[in-house]
Structure 1
Amino acid sequence: MNPTVSPPQGLSRGIRLAAWVCLVLSAFTGFFALQETLKLGHLAELRDQANNVARFSKDADLIAFARVSEAELAALEPMRDSRSLVLGSLSVVCAFAFVSSGRLLRPGGVSLERARRLLSGASIAAAVLRTIDGAQLSVVAQRMGPALAQFISTRPAYHEVETAAQLEAGMSWLASLTMMGLTALIAGTFALLGQYFRSEHVRQTIIAQSGDLAEEED
Protein backbone atom coordinates (compact mmCIF):
# COMPACT_ATOMS: atom_id res chain seq x y z
CA MET A 1 0.00 0.00 0.00
CA ASN A 2 1.41 3.35 -1.03
CA PRO A 3 1.98 5.87 1.78
CA THR A 4 -0.10 8.98 1.82
CA VAL A 5 1.72 12.11 0.61
CA SER A 6 1.27 15.09 2.85
CA PRO A 7 -0.06 18.37 1.47
CA PRO A 8 2.48 20.88 0.13
CA GLN A 9 1.87 23.19 3.08
CA GLY A 10 3.97 20.75 5.15
CA LEU A 11 7.11 21.66 3.23
CA SER A 12 9.34 24.39 4.56
CA ARG A 13 9.27 27.87 3.08
CA GLY A 14 12.79 27.45 1.70
CA ILE A 15 11.90 24.29 -0.23
CA ARG A 16 8.73 25.82 -1.58
CA LEU A 17 10.55 29.00 -2.64
CA ALA A 18 13.26 26.98 -4.41
CA ALA A 19 10.58 24.93 -6.16
CA TRP A 20 8.85 28.12 -7.35
CA VAL A 21 12.15 29.54 -8.65
CA CYS A 22 12.82 26.31 -10.55
CA LEU A 23 9.26 26.27 -11.89
CA VAL A 24 9.56 29.77 -13.36
CA LEU A 25 13.15 29.42 -14.55
CA SER A 26 12.54 26.08 -16.26
CA ALA A 27 9.38 27.40 -17.93
CA PHE A 28 11.12 30.42 -19.46
CA THR A 29 14.34 28.56 -20.35
CA GLY A 30 12.46 25.65 -21.91
CA PHE A 31 10.19 27.99 -23.88
CA PHE A 32 13.08 29.97 -25.36
CA ALA A 33 15.03 26.76 -26.10
CA LEU A 34 12.05 25.37 -28.00
CA GLN A 35 11.59 28.68 -29.82
CA GLU A 36 15.25 28.69 -30.88
CA THR A 37 14.99 25.07 -32.00
CA LEU A 38 12.10 25.98 -34.30
CA LYS A 39 14.08 28.95 -35.59
CA LEU A 40 16.98 26.68 -36.55
CA GLY A 41 14.63 24.73 -38.78
CA HIS A 42 13.92 27.83 -40.89
CA LEU A 43 17.35 29.43 -41.24
CA ALA A 44 17.25 29.51 -45.04
CA GLU A 45 13.88 31.26 -45.13
CA LEU A 46 14.91 33.74 -42.45
CA ARG A 47 18.15 34.57 -44.29
CA ASP A 48 16.23 35.15 -47.51
CA GLN A 49 13.86 37.52 -45.72
CA ALA A 50 16.72 39.48 -44.15
CA ASN A 51 18.58 39.59 -47.46
CA ASN A 52 15.51 40.93 -49.26
CA VAL A 53 15.09 43.67 -46.67
CA ALA A 54 18.76 44.64 -46.96
CA ARG A 55 18.51 44.77 -50.76
CA PHE A 56 15.23 46.51 -51.35
CA SER A 57 14.44 48.59 -48.27
CA LYS A 58 15.17 52.33 -48.36
CA ASP A 59 15.17 52.67 -44.57
CA ALA A 60 18.78 52.84 -43.34
CA ASP A 61 17.90 51.57 -39.85
CA LEU A 62 15.94 48.65 -41.27
CA ILE A 63 18.79 47.75 -43.61
CA ALA A 64 21.33 47.85 -40.78
CA PHE A 65 19.09 45.67 -38.60
CA ALA A 66 18.68 43.20 -41.48
CA ARG A 67 22.48 42.98 -41.72
CA VAL A 68 22.61 42.09 -38.01
CA SER A 69 20.05 39.33 -38.61
CA GLU A 70 22.03 38.05 -41.58
CA ALA A 71 25.19 37.89 -39.47
CA GLU A 72 23.38 36.00 -36.71
CA LEU A 73 21.87 33.48 -39.11
CA ALA A 74 25.20 32.97 -40.90
CA ALA A 75 26.85 32.25 -37.54
CA LEU A 76 24.14 29.77 -36.61
CA GLU A 77 24.33 27.81 -39.87
CA PRO A 78 27.55 25.82 -39.16
CA MET A 79 26.32 24.78 -35.71
CA ARG A 80 22.71 24.09 -36.64
CA ASP A 81 22.79 20.34 -36.00
CA SER A 82 24.73 20.45 -32.74
CA ARG A 83 22.74 23.42 -31.51
CA SER A 84 19.45 21.73 -32.37
CA LEU A 85 20.52 18.74 -30.27
CA VAL A 86 21.52 20.93 -27.33
CA LEU A 87 18.38 23.06 -27.45
CA GLY A 88 16.08 20.06 -27.94
CA SER A 89 17.66 18.32 -24.95
CA LEU A 90 17.46 21.51 -22.90
CA SER A 91 13.75 21.92 -23.62
CA VAL A 92 13.13 18.31 -22.54
CA VAL A 93 15.02 18.53 -19.24
CA CYS A 94 13.35 21.88 -18.52
CA ALA A 95 10.00 20.15 -19.01
CA PHE A 96 11.03 17.52 -16.44
CA ALA A 97 12.18 20.26 -14.05
CA PHE A 98 8.93 22.15 -14.53
CA VAL A 99 6.74 19.11 -13.89
CA SER A 100 8.72 17.86 -10.89
CA SER A 101 8.86 21.28 -9.23
CA GLY A 102 5.12 21.59 -9.79
CA ARG A 103 4.63 18.21 -8.15
CA LEU A 104 6.58 19.32 -5.10
CA LEU A 105 4.23 22.29 -4.76
CA ARG A 106 1.07 20.31 -5.60
CA PRO A 107 1.79 16.57 -5.27
CA GLY A 108 -1.59 15.25 -6.37
CA GLY A 109 -0.78 11.81 -4.94
CA VAL A 110 2.74 11.71 -6.41
CA SER A 111 5.65 10.79 -4.13
CA LEU A 112 7.47 13.94 -3.03
CA GLU A 113 10.75 12.04 -2.79
CA ARG A 114 10.48 10.87 -6.39
CA ALA A 115 9.70 14.44 -7.47
CA ARG A 116 12.72 15.72 -5.50
CA ARG A 117 15.10 13.27 -7.17
CA LEU A 118 13.76 14.05 -10.62
CA LEU A 119 13.97 17.78 -9.96
CA SER A 120 17.56 17.54 -8.75
CA GLY A 121 18.71 15.54 -11.78
CA ALA A 122 16.81 17.68 -14.28
CA SER A 123 18.17 20.92 -12.78
CA ILE A 124 21.78 19.75 -12.98
CA ALA A 125 21.26 18.53 -16.54
CA ALA A 126 19.71 21.89 -17.43
CA ALA A 127 22.74 23.67 -15.94
CA VAL A 128 25.13 21.65 -18.12
CA LEU A 129 23.08 22.07 -21.30
CA ARG A 130 22.51 25.79 -20.69
CA THR A 131 26.28 26.22 -20.29
CA ILE A 132 26.86 24.59 -23.69
CA ASP A 133 24.06 26.72 -25.13
CA GLY A 134 25.71 29.83 -23.70
CA ALA A 135 29.08 28.92 -25.23
CA GLN A 136 27.43 28.62 -28.63
CA LEU A 137 25.64 31.94 -28.15
CA SER A 138 28.94 33.62 -27.27
CA VAL A 139 30.41 32.48 -30.59
CA VAL A 140 27.35 33.81 -32.42
CA ALA A 141 27.58 37.11 -30.54
CA GLN A 142 31.25 37.55 -31.48
CA ARG A 143 30.49 36.97 -35.16
CA MET A 144 27.67 39.50 -34.97
CA GLY A 145 30.07 42.17 -33.69
CA PRO A 146 30.84 43.85 -37.04
CA ALA A 147 27.16 44.01 -38.03
CA LEU A 148 26.20 45.35 -34.60
CA ALA A 149 28.93 47.98 -34.87
CA GLN A 150 27.63 49.02 -38.27
CA PHE A 151 24.11 49.26 -36.92
CA ILE A 152 25.14 51.37 -33.92
CA SER A 153 27.42 53.56 -36.05
CA THR A 154 24.30 54.89 -37.80
CA ARG A 155 23.30 56.53 -34.51
CA PRO A 156 24.26 60.23 -34.44
CA ALA A 157 25.85 59.94 -31.00
CA TYR A 158 28.50 57.54 -32.32
CA HIS A 159 29.55 59.34 -35.48
CA GLU A 160 32.56 61.07 -33.91
CA VAL A 161 33.03 59.15 -30.70
CA GLU A 162 34.55 55.90 -31.92
CA THR A 163 36.41 54.72 -34.97
CA ALA A 164 34.89 51.79 -36.88
CA ALA A 165 37.57 49.39 -35.61
CA GLN A 166 37.14 50.45 -31.99
CA LEU A 167 33.37 50.21 -32.20
CA GLU A 168 33.52 46.78 -33.85
CA ALA A 169 35.90 45.41 -31.22
CA GLY A 170 33.84 46.93 -28.43
CA MET A 171 30.57 45.48 -29.71
CA SER A 172 32.03 41.99 -30.16
CA TRP A 173 33.41 42.10 -26.63
CA LEU A 174 30.22 43.51 -25.11
CA ALA A 175 27.91 41.06 -26.89
CA SER A 176 30.07 38.11 -25.87
CA LEU A 177 30.33 39.33 -22.27
CA THR A 178 26.56 39.79 -22.08
CA MET A 179 25.95 36.23 -23.26
CA MET A 180 28.48 34.84 -20.77
CA GLY A 181 26.91 36.80 -17.93
CA LEU A 182 23.43 35.60 -18.81
CA THR A 183 24.69 32.02 -19.09
CA ALA A 184 26.39 32.23 -15.70
CA LEU A 185 23.19 33.55 -14.11
CA ILE A 186 20.83 30.93 -15.57
CA ALA A 187 23.13 27.90 -15.54
CA GLY A 188 24.43 28.84 -12.09
CA THR A 189 20.91 29.09 -10.70
CA PHE A 190 20.01 25.69 -12.14
CA ALA A 191 23.17 24.19 -10.63
CA LEU A 192 22.45 25.69 -7.20
CA LEU A 193 18.87 24.42 -7.32
CA GLY A 194 20.05 20.96 -8.34
CA GLN A 195 22.55 20.80 -5.48
CA TYR A 196 19.99 22.18 -3.03
CA PHE A 197 17.39 19.52 -3.83
CA ARG A 198 20.13 16.93 -3.86
CA SER A 199 21.25 17.82 -0.35
CA GLU A 200 20.70 15.41 2.52
CA HIS A 201 18.89 18.09 4.52
CA VAL A 202 16.21 18.56 1.85
CA ARG A 203 15.99 14.81 1.29
CA GLN A 204 15.40 14.09 4.96
CA THR A 205 12.96 16.99 5.30
CA ILE A 206 10.85 15.79 2.38
CA ILE A 207 10.88 12.18 3.59
CA ALA A 208 9.87 13.28 7.06
CA GLN A 209 7.10 15.54 5.78
CA SER A 210 5.69 13.02 3.31
CA GLY A 211 6.19 9.98 5.50
CA ASP A 212 7.54 8.24 2.40
CA LEU A 213 9.81 5.86 4.29
CA ALA A 214 9.78 3.36 1.44
CA GLU A 215 11.54 5.89 -0.77
CA GLU A 216 14.35 6.23 1.77
CA GLU A 217 15.25 2.60 1.25
CA ASP A 218 15.44 2.88 -2.58
Structure 2
Amino acid sequence: MKHSSRKGLPGGVRFAAIVGLVLSILTGWAALMEAVEMANFYEARSLRMEQELPRIPGAPALDPKILEVYYAALEPMREPRAVLLGLLAVACAFVSVSAARMLSPENLHRDALSRVLSRAAIIAAGLRTIDGAQMSVAKQRLFAALAEPMSKMPEFPPDITVEASREILSAMGVGSAIFGTVVVAGTFALLGQYFRSQRVREAMAVQDGPQEE
Protein backbone atom coordinates (compact mmCIF):
# COMPACT_ATOMS: atom_id res chain seq x y z
CA MET A 1 0.00 0.00 0.00
CA LYS A 2 1.45 3.39 -0.99
CA HIS A 3 0.20 6.89 -0.61
CA SER A 4 -0.33 8.72 -3.85
CA SER A 5 0.22 12.14 -2.25
CA ARG A 6 1.10 13.91 0.96
CA LYS A 7 -0.34 17.18 2.18
CA GLY A 8 0.79 19.49 4.92
CA LEU A 9 -0.92 19.17 8.28
CA PRO A 10 -3.62 21.71 9.18
CA GLY A 11 -2.30 24.42 11.47
CA GLY A 12 -4.23 23.27 14.54
CA VAL A 13 -3.14 19.66 14.21
CA ARG A 14 0.47 20.68 13.60
CA PHE A 15 0.45 22.92 16.68
CA ALA A 16 -1.06 20.14 18.82
CA ALA A 17 1.53 17.66 17.55
CA ILE A 18 4.36 20.07 18.40
CA VAL A 19 2.93 20.65 21.88
CA GLY A 20 2.65 16.90 22.39
CA LEU A 21 6.20 16.37 21.18
CA VAL A 22 7.76 18.99 23.46
CA LEU A 23 5.64 18.12 26.51
CA SER A 24 6.24 14.39 26.20
CA ILE A 25 10.00 14.80 25.80
CA LEU A 26 10.29 17.03 28.87
CA THR A 27 7.91 14.95 31.00
CA GLY A 28 9.34 11.63 29.87
CA TRP A 29 12.93 12.66 30.52
CA ALA A 30 12.08 13.97 33.99
CA ALA A 31 10.14 10.78 34.77
CA LEU A 32 12.99 8.59 33.59
CA MET A 33 15.55 10.46 35.69
CA GLU A 34 13.40 10.21 38.80
CA ALA A 35 12.63 6.55 38.11
CA VAL A 36 16.36 5.86 38.15
CA GLU A 37 16.64 7.82 41.39
CA MET A 38 13.81 5.82 42.97
CA ALA A 39 15.40 2.56 41.79
CA ASN A 40 18.62 3.67 43.51
CA PHE A 41 16.79 5.38 46.35
CA TYR A 42 19.31 5.10 49.18
CA GLU A 43 22.30 6.02 47.04
CA ALA A 44 20.46 9.03 45.61
CA ARG A 45 19.34 10.12 49.07
CA SER A 46 22.87 9.94 50.45
CA LEU A 47 24.19 11.96 47.52
CA ARG A 48 21.54 14.65 47.89
CA MET A 49 22.09 14.85 51.64
CA GLU A 50 25.73 15.71 51.01
CA GLN A 51 24.81 18.65 48.78
CA GLU A 52 24.21 22.14 50.09
CA LEU A 53 20.63 23.34 49.83
CA PRO A 54 19.84 26.62 48.06
CA ARG A 55 19.98 29.63 50.37
CA ILE A 56 16.84 31.53 51.30
CA PRO A 57 17.76 35.24 51.07
CA GLY A 58 17.96 36.77 54.51
CA ALA A 59 17.66 33.40 56.29
CA PRO A 60 20.34 31.18 57.84
CA ALA A 61 21.67 28.32 55.76
CA LEU A 62 19.31 25.38 55.63
CA ASP A 63 20.43 22.09 57.06
CA PRO A 64 20.73 19.57 54.20
CA LYS A 65 19.12 17.06 56.54
CA ILE A 66 15.85 18.87 56.00
CA LEU A 67 15.62 16.67 52.92
CA GLU A 68 15.19 13.73 55.28
CA VAL A 69 11.56 14.79 55.61
CA TYR A 70 11.13 14.69 51.84
CA TYR A 71 12.82 11.33 51.38
CA ALA A 72 11.03 9.88 54.40
CA ALA A 73 7.75 10.62 52.61
CA LEU A 74 8.97 8.98 49.40
CA GLU A 75 10.62 5.93 50.98
CA PRO A 76 7.43 3.83 51.48
CA MET A 77 6.44 4.38 47.85
CA ARG A 78 9.89 4.17 46.25
CA GLU A 79 9.36 0.84 44.44
CA PRO A 80 5.82 1.45 43.10
CA ARG A 81 6.87 4.99 42.25
CA ALA A 82 9.84 3.73 40.24
CA VAL A 83 7.46 1.51 38.26
CA LEU A 84 4.95 4.34 37.85
CA LEU A 85 7.58 6.74 36.56
CA GLY A 86 8.99 4.09 34.24
CA LEU A 87 5.55 3.54 32.73
CA LEU A 88 5.08 7.30 32.41
CA ALA A 89 8.37 7.56 30.55
CA VAL A 90 7.26 4.79 28.17
CA ALA A 91 3.89 6.45 27.57
CA CYS A 92 5.65 9.74 26.87
CA ALA A 93 7.95 7.96 24.42
CA PHE A 94 4.91 6.75 22.47
CA VAL A 95 3.48 10.27 22.46
CA SER A 96 6.73 11.85 21.28
CA VAL A 97 7.39 9.28 18.56
CA SER A 98 3.80 9.45 17.30
CA ALA A 99 3.83 13.26 17.30
CA ALA A 100 7.18 13.38 15.52
CA ARG A 101 6.03 10.91 12.87
CA MET A 102 2.80 12.85 12.35
CA LEU A 103 4.90 15.89 11.51
CA SER A 104 7.01 13.80 9.11
CA PRO A 105 5.08 10.60 8.40
CA GLU A 106 6.89 9.36 5.28
CA ASN A 107 4.96 6.16 4.45
CA LEU A 108 3.05 5.89 7.72
CA HIS A 109 -0.69 6.52 8.05
CA ARG A 110 -1.37 9.71 9.97
CA ASP A 111 -4.75 8.34 11.04
CA ALA A 112 -3.04 5.39 12.75
CA LEU A 113 -0.48 7.71 14.31
CA SER A 114 -3.24 9.94 15.71
CA ARG A 115 -4.86 6.92 17.36
CA VAL A 116 -1.58 5.86 18.96
CA LEU A 117 -0.86 9.43 20.09
CA SER A 118 -4.35 9.77 21.56
CA ARG A 119 -4.20 6.57 23.58
CA ALA A 120 -0.65 7.19 24.80
CA ALA A 121 -1.50 10.77 25.82
CA ILE A 122 -4.53 9.64 27.83
CA ILE A 123 -2.44 6.97 29.57
CA ALA A 124 0.26 9.56 30.28
CA ALA A 125 -2.38 11.87 31.75
CA GLY A 126 -3.56 9.16 34.13
CA LEU A 127 -0.04 8.20 35.20
CA ARG A 128 0.97 11.83 35.68
CA THR A 129 -2.10 12.35 37.88
CA ILE A 130 -1.02 9.50 40.16
CA ASP A 131 2.51 10.92 40.14
CA GLY A 132 1.12 14.29 41.22
CA ALA A 133 -0.82 12.72 44.08
CA GLN A 134 2.34 11.08 45.38
CA MET A 135 4.36 14.28 45.01
CA SER A 136 1.74 16.30 46.89
CA VAL A 137 2.44 14.20 49.99
CA ALA A 138 6.20 14.66 49.72
CA LYS A 139 5.99 18.39 48.94
CA GLN A 140 3.54 18.99 51.77
CA ARG A 141 6.01 17.59 54.28
CA LEU A 142 9.02 19.30 52.69
CA PHE A 143 7.39 22.73 52.66
CA ALA A 144 6.18 22.27 56.24
CA ALA A 145 9.74 21.51 57.32
CA LEU A 146 10.81 24.91 55.95
CA ALA A 147 8.62 26.76 58.46
CA GLU A 148 11.15 26.87 61.28
CA PRO A 149 14.16 28.15 59.28
CA MET A 150 11.96 30.68 57.50
CA SER A 151 10.68 31.95 60.86
CA LYS A 152 14.22 33.17 61.55
CA MET A 153 14.17 35.52 58.57
CA PRO A 154 14.11 39.23 59.52
CA GLU A 155 11.18 39.75 57.16
CA PHE A 156 9.13 37.03 58.85
CA PRO A 157 5.94 38.60 60.30
CA PRO A 158 6.19 38.52 64.11
CA ASP A 159 2.47 37.93 64.52
CA ILE A 160 2.58 34.61 62.62
CA THR A 161 3.51 31.56 64.66
CA VAL A 162 5.72 28.80 63.36
CA GLU A 163 2.74 26.44 63.49
CA ALA A 164 0.63 28.79 61.39
CA SER A 165 3.52 29.18 58.98
CA ARG A 166 3.83 25.41 58.77
CA GLU A 167 0.17 25.11 57.80
CA ILE A 168 0.50 27.82 55.16
CA LEU A 169 3.62 26.27 53.67
CA SER A 170 2.03 22.82 53.71
CA ALA A 171 -0.85 24.19 51.66
CA MET A 172 1.64 25.82 49.29
CA GLY A 173 3.44 22.51 48.82
CA VAL A 174 0.22 20.71 47.99
CA GLY A 175 -0.85 23.58 45.76
CA SER A 176 2.38 23.52 43.77
CA ALA A 177 2.01 19.77 43.19
CA ILE A 178 -1.62 20.15 42.15
CA PHE A 179 -0.81 23.04 39.81
CA GLY A 180 1.92 21.06 38.05
CA THR A 181 -0.38 18.07 37.74
CA VAL A 182 -3.22 20.12 36.30
CA VAL A 183 -0.96 21.74 33.71
CA VAL A 184 0.86 18.60 32.56
CA ALA A 185 -1.79 15.91 33.00
CA GLY A 186 -4.50 18.28 31.78
CA THR A 187 -2.56 19.05 28.61
CA PHE A 188 -1.99 15.35 27.95
CA ALA A 189 -5.71 14.69 28.46
CA LEU A 190 -6.67 17.49 26.08
CA LEU A 191 -4.25 16.17 23.47
CA GLY A 192 -5.67 12.67 23.87
CA GLN A 193 -9.22 13.90 23.39
CA TYR A 194 -8.24 16.15 20.50
CA PHE A 195 -6.50 13.46 18.48
CA ARG A 196 -9.32 10.99 19.03
CA SER A 197 -11.98 13.46 17.86
CA GLN A 198 -13.90 12.67 14.72
CA ARG A 199 -12.85 15.94 13.12
CA VAL A 200 -9.16 15.16 13.45
CA ARG A 201 -9.66 11.55 12.37
CA GLU A 202 -11.43 12.71 9.22
CA ALA A 203 -8.74 15.31 8.57
CA MET A 204 -6.06 12.64 8.91
CA ALA A 205 -7.90 10.39 6.45
CA VAL A 206 -7.82 13.26 3.96
CA GLN A 207 -4.13 13.81 4.71
CA ASP A 208 -3.39 10.14 4.02
CA GLY A 209 -5.10 10.57 0.67
CA PRO A 210 -6.25 7.82 -1.66
CA GLN A 211 -4.24 4.62 -1.50
CA GLU A 212 -3.30 2.37 -4.30
CA GLU A 213 -2.01 -1.16 -4.48
TM-score w.r.t. the length of structure 1 is: 0.86
Task: Provide the rounded CA distance (Å) in 2 between the counterparts of 1:144 and 1:197.
Answer: 38
Structure 2 unpaired stretches of 5+: 53-58
Cα displacement (A) at 1:123: 0.5
Percent identity, aligned pairs only, is 41
Q: Which amino acid aligns with 1:34?
A: L
2:24 and 2:95 in contact (8 A); partners too? yes
Structure 1 unpaired stretches of 5+: none
Q: Which residue of 1 aligns with 2:158?
A: 160
Structure 1, 154-163 or 134-143: larger mean CA deviation: 154-163
Q: Which residue of 2 aligns with 1:61?
A: 61
Cα displacement (A) at 1:96: 0.4
Cα displacement (A) at 1:15: 0.4
Q: Judging changes above 3 Å, is the alpha-carbon distance between structure 1 residues 22 and 141 closer, same or farther for their aligned structure 2 residues?
A: same
Q: Which amino acid aligns with 2:202?
A: Q
Pairing partner for 1:82 from 77, 80, 83: 80
SS at match of 1:158: coil
1:4-43 correspondence to structure 2 within 5 Å = 4=4, 6-7=6-7, 9=8, 11-43=9-41
Cα-Cα RMSD: 2.1
Which is richer in helix?
Answer: 1
Q: Which residue of 1 aligns with 2:55?
A: none
Task: Provide the rounded CA distance (Å) in 2 between the counterparts of 1:156 and 1:184.
Answer: 35
**1:169-195 deviations in Å (ceiling 9; x for gaps):** 111111101111110111111101100
Q: Which amino acid aligns with 1:71?
A: V
Cα displacement (A) at 1:69: 1.8
Q: Which residue of 1 aligns with 2:91?
A: 93
**1:30-54 deviations in Å (ceiling 9; x for gaps):** 0110111111123212433455679
Q: Judging changes above 3 Å, is the alpha-carbon distance between structure 1 residues 53 and 20 closer, same or farther for their aligned structure 2 residues?
A: closer
Task: Provide the rounded CA distance (Å) in 1 between the counterparts of 2:106 and 2:30.
Answer: 28
Cα displacement (A) at 1:115: 0.8
Q: Which residue of 1 aligns with 2:130?
A: 132
1:50 and 1:70 in contact (8 A); partners too? no
Structure 1, 164-173 or 34-43: larger mean CA deviation: 34-43
Task: Provide the rounded CA distance (Å) in 1 between the counterparts of 2:76 and 2:123.
Answer: 25
2:20 and 2:95 in contact (8 A); partners too? yes
1:170 aligns to 2:161 (yes or no): no
